Amino acid sequence: MRIKIILLLQVCFLLAGLTMPVVACPPPDCDDCETWDPETETCDPDCSSGQCCQDDSCVDTCSGCYKCLDGSCEPCKCWDDGNPITGSINVQNAKLCEEVTHTSSISDTDHWFKGGNGGEGCEGSPSDTIDSYSWSKIAGDNPETGTFIGATDEATVTWRAPQCTGTVTIKLNADDKPNPMDNPCPDSDRDDPNKVFEGTSTVSLPSGCEYAGEHDSNVHWINPNDDFNSTTCTVFGDFYRPDATYNVNFKYEGCQWACEVNDVEAETRIRVRDPNSLLPGKVSISQASDVPCADANLAKSDLNDPNLNDDVGADLSKYWIYSAIVAHEQKHRTDWQTFYGDELANAVSYAESQSVSIDCDDPNTITCGSAKSSKIADINDRFNKAYQDAYKQYDLPGTSLKEHEQRAYLVENAIEQPVSDALPGGCTP
């Protein structure tokens, strides 16, 4: 453009030197945002100070990806804020007090445009570095949040689950470190805002452990088929009282292990048998041949015993002896179940008062099995003591059992009172 103006002026000068009439030269074409000055015969800018020429107009600020340079809007790079930090975190579930590693995969790929629509652009892969990591945790439905082990400002973090079950929210706040910008547009910033990622860790019970709940801790008595096998006229009775069986478990309840006792069973058995020889102090008959030896389950009329009556002075027959022994042993059973039943209930109550607080720094408290191991010896001792205490009460002189023994163990050949009076209350021949 400036060359054209110079040539035009030279032509006008040559023409002016001739004798021909003076001819006015037309003004040359000026650039955008310039005006021809006829006095100086130059193209002068017509924008105010600080303005720039863009699209044939004087503007205060260049639009698009342009910046004002020497009065003109020149292309520059404007970084797109639509490309934020992206990625994800991988949050692990855990058992009580278990250590797990939470990981992240975070990146920041920036994208810029240059000039107006259709202008060139570039996208990094990625272009910025994530240099700020900050892990945190908050309670979900878990009353505790656990403990971070080691650094919490790296891409991964080690976390120890709490001593309680439930969910914990794990968070990661990540931020980028923007690289230097080449030819940036004004107010363009490739520094993306930080971004928070989160995930949920579910803390569950160790394998094989259960939650506490409703259970049957009552004492159940087992009376197996009693052994009544007398076939002769000489009989004796035994009462068996094996120790009780029970099942002890420690189950989770309120961030601790609580003891539950189930399947408490105690067995009692009565045996009425024929001895090989008469045992001292047991029921006997002076002349066994005088009394027929019939099955005890037969009615008294089937015994064909003329002396079988309820008169004072009646001879003792096998029927009377057998009935008295069975009633006597049954009284043993009733008394034993009373004494031992109370002691067993106390032992169950004591056991179920035992608990173990879960302490992640103490491996002997972390599982239900370790909790049981720490308490079972004491609980077993308490059940053993229940048996011994019941036996002492059962064998204590002055109990109702002693009176019953005197009534049931008849050692005389004749009864000095009606037979029915010699038998325990409610028992009839």
The predicted pLDDT at position 337 comes to 92
**Band of residue 402 on the pLDDT scale cut at 50, 70, 90:** very low
Quick one: residue 414, left, alpha or beta (phi over 0 = left, psi -120 to 50 = alpha)?
beta
- In angstroms, the CA 423 to CA 417 distance is 11
- What's the whole-number mean pLDDT along residues 223-237? 65
CATH number of domain containing 171 = 2.60.40.10
Q: Across the strands, what pairs with 134?
A: 173
Same domain, 326 and 398: yes
Among 204, 229, 260, which residue terminates a domain? 204
Between 39-48, 139-148, 240-249, 339-348, the lowest mean confidence (pLDDT) is in: 39-48
Is residue 355's pLDDT more than 60?
Answer: yes
The predicted pLDDT at position 179 comes to 86
- In angstroms, the CA 331 to CA 11 distance is 149
From residue 362, alpha-carbon distances to 358, 365, 366, 367, 371 in Å are 8, 6, 7, 10, 11
Q: Is residue 315 in a domain?
A: yes
The predicted pLDDT at position 272 comes to 72
256-267 and 219-222 beta bridge pairing: parallel
The predicted pLDDT at position 306 comes to 44
**Band of residue 116 on the pLDDT scale cut at 50, 70, 90:** confident
The number of domains in the chain is 2
The predicted pLDDT at position 283 comes to 38
* Tokens found for residue 426: 């409610």
The predicted pLDDT at position 189 comes to 85
Same domain, 101 and 223: no
Q: Domain range spanning residue 93?
A: 87-108+128-204
Same domain, 164 and 292: no
- In angstroms, the CA 346 to CA 340 distance is 10
Q: Across the strands, what pairs with 101?
A: 158
What's the alpha-carbon Rg for the chain, to the nearest Å? 53
What does the pLDDT look like over 4-20, one tens digit per residue? 444 444 544 444 454 44
Q: Is residue 44 in a domain?
A: no
Is residue 27's pLDDT more than 50?
Answer: yes
Same domain, 169 and 137: yes
Same domain, 294 and 168: no
Which of 108 and 322 is assigned the larger pLDDT?
Answer: 108
Same domain, 195 and 329: no
Q: Is residue 16 in a domain?
A: no
**Band of residue 296 on the pLDDT scale cut at 50, 70, 90:** very low
Same domain, 312 and 245: yes
The predicted pLDDT at position 360 comes to 97
Q: Is residue 60 in a domain?
A: no
- What's the whole-number mean pLDDT along residues 12-34? 59
Which of 369 and 282 is assigned the larger pLDDT?
Answer: 369
Same domain, 390 and 297: yes
The predicted pLDDT at position 252 comes to 98
The predicted pLDDT at position 273 comes to 66
Which of 49 and 315 is assigned the larger pLDDT?
Answer: 49
Same domain, 414 and 296: yes
99-107 and 86-90 beta bridge pairing: antiparallel
What does the pLDDT look like over 34-87, one tens digit per residue? 888 888 888 887 888 888 998 888 999 998 899 998 888 999 998 887 789 999
Between 140-144, 363-367, 413-417, the lowest mean confidence (pLDDT) is in: 413-417
Same domain, 200 and 224: no
Same domain, 185 and 235: no
End-to-end Cα spacing for the chain: 145
